[in-house]
Amino acid sequence: MSAAGERSPRKLRLFFALWPVDRHRAALAEWTAEAVARVDGRVVPPGNLHVTLAFLGPVPAQTFVQLVGVGGQGIWPAVRLDFTRIEYWARPKVLVAMPAEVPAAGQAIVERLWQGVAPLGFKRELRPWRPHLTLVRGVRQPPPENLELAPVQAAADDPAWRLALVDSAAHPEGPRYKALADWPLGGVRHLDDHGGV
C-alpha cells in the first residue's frame, strides 16, 4: 500500500516470447489436440500457447517502457519452428511439443534480447535455450509413450510468429498470458542452420 492508502500497482511478471499469429495459434491447437486429449492434466488454453525466448520475472512498472524499447530496436529475423515430437518432462510435470531442431534465427533473437536487457539488470539463465511449446501442465501420471504429433509447420512464405513482450498473471485455474507489446519477424533473410545468412 502507498502512503496515501492506495494499493501499490503489482509488478509485471514478464518474458519475451515467440507469439503465434491467430491463424497459426488455431492450427497449433488443432494439430496437438489428439495427443493432448490422452493426457491427464491441465490443458494449456490456445490463447496461452507460446515459445519462451527470455524469462525476465517480476519487473517494476517503470522498467516496462525500457523493455519495449529493447523489442522495438531494429529488425528481427523470421523464425521457422517445425514441431515434430512430443516429450513428457517429469520434474515440472509438463507435456511439450518439440521442434526438429533449434532454429538459428531463434537463437540469434535470444542472444540479442539478453544483450539488450542486461544493462537493465536482468540476469540470464545458465541453461541453453531449448524451444518448446507447453501443451499440458500438472500432468498427474506419465502419459502413454506412443503419443504422436503430426509435423506442425507453417508455410514458408506465411509468417507464423511475432516477437512479443508478455505478462503472466496468476489465476486460480492457472496463469494467463497477455502480449503487452509485439513486433513482426521477417525483416531480414532467414538464418541457415549454421547461423549465417
Structural domains for the chain: 12-184 (3.90.1140.10)
**pLDDT recorded at residue 71:** 98
Measured CA angle at 19 (ends 15, 24), to 5 deg: 160
Residue 189 has pLDDT above 90, yes or no: no
Residue 4 has pLDDT above 50, yes or no: no
Between residues 134 and 152, the one the model is more confident about? 134
Residue 146 has pLDDT above 90, yes or no: no
- Residue 85's CB is within 10 A of a number of other CB atoms, namely 13
pLDDT grade for 158, boundaries at 50, 70 and 90: low
**pLDDT recorded at residue 174:** 80
Instruction: Please state which of the ranges 15-19, 60-64, 92-96, 111-115 shows the lowest mean pLDDT.
Output: 60-64
Residue 195 has pLDDT above 80, yes or no: no
Between residues 111 and 187, the one the model is more confident about? 111
Residue 13 has pLDDT above 50, yes or no: yes
Average pLDDT of the segment spanning 88-114:
96
Between residues 7 and 89, the one the model is more confident about? 89
